[in-house]
Amino acid sequence: MNEDARLDLGRRQRLGMVEAVWGEHKSAEQITAVMLGLHQAGELALVTRVSAEKALAVERLLADQLGSGGADPPPQHHPLARCLTWPAPPPADPAFGRVAVVSGGSSDLAVASEARLALACHGVASDLVLDVGVAGLHRLLAELEGLRRARVLIACAGMEGALPTVLAGLLPQPVIGVPVAVGYGVSAGGQAALMGMLASCAPGLTVVNIDNGYGAAMAALRILQLANGVASAAGEQGP
């Protein structure tokens, strides 16, 4: 185990969440050590922002350490979400209902996929509603009836970030806005979308940081746990 890594093995008991590991600035060796530590503790490992090349290196390192006789399947890399999981996420728990992850355009897909995978790692089912940005508002209006069936909405949008405001003005569920670093010039790497969402006139809109699909998923999970009274029960379940 890497001596620099101090795993939070009590997070599931405290919060009903597995520990997520930021992978972008960690080496393959560091990620391997952390994943082994989580696996040995019986926890699901979720590592975010992992490139395909780094994921392959981690898989090789794990194979070397576990040997060919290991009974566990290898970790799974999710290219769209840019994440590693090990073992596979659990089956969806119907008690949570469903979350709708709504995207302004296909350029938001990576962030939306990260949110969906993070939800799946906690047994929460989700539906992706893609390419319904406000540039063609009729596309979103055509999806409203289906969106009403979701318990929580996560809305990912770049450019000026108007999609979460529109959703929060039309639907009663909690809406979590995720500004995405997509857009020309003054979009400034998602800053315009972030400021637009923070300045929204739609009451009750929640906003997370730029490109933070994982954070939006955990905000949704907290809402669902509270609504169902299952936060402590979720903390007792295995991955």
Residue 233 lies in a domain: no
Range of the domain at 43: 11-86
pLDDT (0 to 100) of residue 11: 81
- 123 and 214 fall within a common domain: yes
Coil, strand or helix at 63? helix
Tell whether 120 and 66 lie within a shared domain: no
Do 206 and 122 sit in the same domain of this protein?
Answer: yes
Q: Which of 86, 115, 133 marks a domain boundary?
A: 86
| The token pair that represents 199 in the structure block | 């300045």
Would 212 be classed as within a structural domain? yes
What number of CA atoms fall less than 13 Å from residue 169's CA on the CB side? Answer: 11
Does pLDDT of 179 surpass 90?
yes
145 and 67 belong to one structural domain: no
* The pLDDT of residue 194 is above 50: yes
DSSP 49: S
What is the distance between the alpha carbons of residues 62 and 40, in angstroms, rounded to a whole number? 13
Nearest to 152 by CA among 122, 189, 185: 122
**How many domains are contained in the chain?**
2
Give the model confidence (pLDDT) of 214-233 as tens digits.
999 999 999 999 987 754 44
- 236 located within any domain: no
Tokens matching residue 157: 């949008």
**In this structure, is residue 136 part of a structural domain?**
yes
Same domain, 112 and 69: no
Interior CA angle at 118 toward 234 and 217, to 5°? 85
Q: 52 and 163 share a domain? A: no
- Give pLDDT tens digits for 74-125: 899 999 999 999 999 999 999 999 999 999 989 999 999 999 999 999 999 9
Separation between Cα atoms, residue 209 and residue 5, nearest integer Å = 25
Does residue 239 form part of some domain?
no
Question: What angle do helix axes 163-170 and 191-198 make, rounded to 10 degrees?
Answer: 20
List C-alpha distances in Å: 186 to 110, 161, 181, 191: 22, 13, 11, 8
Q: Are residues 195 and 110 in the same domain?
A: yes
Q: Among 65-79, 95-109, 183-197, name the one with the lowest average pLDDT.
A: 65-79
Name the pTM for this structure.
Answer: 0.89
Among residues of the chain, what percentage have pLDDT more than 90? 73
CA pseudo-torsion sign 110, 213, 165, 123? positive
Query: What's the pLDDT tens digit per position in 152-177?
Result: 999 999 999 999 999 999 999 999 99
Residue pLDDT, tens place only, 7-59? 877 788 888 888 899 999 999 999 999 999 998 888 999 999 999 999 999 99
23: domain CATH number?
Answer: 3.30.110
Residues 79 and 106 in one domain: no
Q: In terms of domains, do 131 and 75 share one? A: no
The one-letter code for the residue type at 138 is: H
CA distance linking residue 23 with residue 117, whole number of Å: 15
